Structure 1
């Protein structure tokens, strides 16, 4: 069981690396006026999303579900667990919204400013803080 939990934690760390860095790339992409620089951001964004983000998302979910199977009755009876699951669902949506912005930026259709992306970049930080406190304290905030 511990190796399953370890892989879950590693996948979460990798997923959050993408969730933190990709919107920061959006900030710089939105600020750029140079087409060559924008093209480089398009490559970086695509590789980060598909090469790190998506595999990490799937590993996080697969190994997270696996961990819960060891004590399913405990988890399903815990309020903190369901709050955390709601936050994870929000992160999955956020992940896919990032994919939407990649397509918008790739096709030069994105109208969002770098200021928007600076605020957008804070969403996973807030959710991470809430999830860590929920998991460690095992009580709703």
Structure 2
């Protein structure tokens, strides 16, 4: 990975941009699900609008952003950008893995909405909307403050 060291700052910048885009999607998609679950009748025009919005958000923004964040993150780790000898490095990695699990859970829920088989309430999606925020706080505090 030494050949990448001259590009460290560029990789880190791309990583941060990808994380911002990914987090925006992780915040917004469950909010769309809240409105979809509470306001749209299956097969209605509003239902179709939400389906398009949810699919585009996931496939055009969230998936590429998550993949880019992971690739850049792995490259940064390979260049010594994460300290696994300290708890903060593990805390950040676990938060990112949990964000990925949340992303996959949301992708599965999008498929349910697309099929017209959603059974979850808006309340479920309101709760799901909080998870990325908590995980983001853990990751940022772990890396910036390094309290442990």
Check whether TM > 0.5.
yes
CA distance, structure 2, for counterparts of residue 76 and residue 134 of structure 1 = 12
Would you say 1:83 and 2:91 are equivalent positions?
yes
- Cα deviation for residue 106 of structure 1 reads 0.9
Alignment partner, residue 97 of structure 1? 105
| Paired residue secondary structure (1:110) | coil
Which 4+ stretches in 1 moved above 3 angstroms?
none
Q: RMSD of aligned C-alpha atoms?
A: 1.2
TM-score, with normalisation over the residues of structure 1?
0.94
User: Unaligned regions of 5+ residues in structure 2, if any?
Assistant: 1-7
Alignment partner of 1:6 out of 8, 13, 24: 13
TM-score, with normalisation over the residues of structure 2?
0.90
Query: How many residues are paired up?
Result: 139
Alignment partner, residue 18 of structure 1? 25
Confirm or deny: 8 A CA contact 2:91 2:138 kept in the other structure. Answer: no
| Paired residue secondary structure (2:147) | coil
- Cα deviation for residue 76 of structure 1 reads 2.2
User: Unaligned regions of 5+ residues in structure 1, if any?
Assistant: none
